[in-house]
């Protein structure tokens, strides 16, 4: 049972466009949502995270929009750069963040 779902599976955008990556979850007890970025041959690295008390979190070109009622969130990457080409994982957990459930990832390609 996939508790965290991501779409699309892969996404291609032109340099300078906004990439939108979607995530949804099932368990209403989840309240911490990190997004990880993974380059080939490396482990994932935390990119940005949000807690359910907020509906938006911004860090430079990366913004999370969170809709608690619909149990959905999205990661927006504005002014996409070729260096943003990577796989992005959405995860979810309860308070402590210890037991994080990961989605299946979105592979983003940014074309120059």
Partner 1 sequence: GGIITQTPKFLIGQEGQKLTLKCQQNFNHDTMYWYRQDSGKGLRLIYYSITENDLQKGDLSEGYDASREKKSSFSLTVTSAQKNEMAVFLCASTPGGRAEQFFGPGTRLTVL
Which residues contact partner 1 by CB under 8 A? 4, 6, 9, 32, 34, 36, 41-46, 49, 89, 93, 96-105
Residues 6+ apart with CB under 8 A from 60: none
Least gap, CB of 74 to partner 1 (angstroms): 17
Least gap, CB of 29 to partner 1 (angstroms): 15
Distance CA 64, CA 83 (A): 19
Three-state secondary structure call for residue 81: coil
Q: Which is nearer to partner 1, 17 or 94 (CB)?
A: 94
């Amino acid at each position: 049972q996939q508790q965290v779902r991501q779409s699309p599976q892969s996404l291609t955008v032109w340099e300078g466009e906004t990439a939108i990556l979607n995530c949804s979850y099932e368990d209403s007890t989840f309240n911490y949502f990190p997004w990880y970025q993974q380059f080939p041959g490396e482990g994932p690295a935390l990119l940005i995270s949000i807690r359910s008390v907020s509906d938006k979190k911004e860090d430079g070109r990366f913004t999370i929009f969170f809709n608690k009622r619909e149990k959905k969130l999205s990661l927006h990457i504005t002014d996409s750069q070729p260096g943003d080409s990577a796989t992005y994982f959405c995860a979810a957990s309860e308070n402590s963040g210890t037991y994080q459930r990961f989605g299946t990832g979105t592979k983003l390609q940014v074309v120059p």
